[in-house]
Structure 1
Amino acid sequence: MSKRHSAKHKLDRRMGENIWGRPKSPVNKREYGPGQHGQRRKGKMSDYGLQLRAKQKLKGYYGDVTEKQFKKAYEEASRMKGDTSQNLIGLLEQRLDMIVYRAKFAPTVWSARQLVSHGHVRVNGVKCNIASRRVRPGDIVSLGDKAKQMTLVMEAQSLAEREIPDYVAPDGNDKVTFTRVPTLDEVPYPVKMEPNLVVEFYSR
Structure 2
Amino acid sequence: MEKEPTLEAIVKSPAIDAHMRAGNGFSLKEIKEAGKTPELLKKLNIKIDYFRKSAQSENIEKIKSLKTPKVKKKKKSFVMKEKKRTPYKPKIEKIKAKPKKIVKVEPKITPAKPVTKPKKKEKVKPVKLEKIPTEPAGTPLTELSGLGAATAKKFIELGVNNIEDLCQENLEELAALIKGVSVDRLKKWIDEGNELIK
For the aligned pair, the TM-score class normalised by the smaller chain equals under 0.3
Choose between structure 1 and 2: higher helix proportion. Answer: 1
TM-score for the superposition, normalised by structure 2: 0.22
Considering only CA atoms, is the larger Rg found in Structure 1 or Structure 2?
Answer: 2
TM-score for the superposition, normalised by structure 1: 0.21
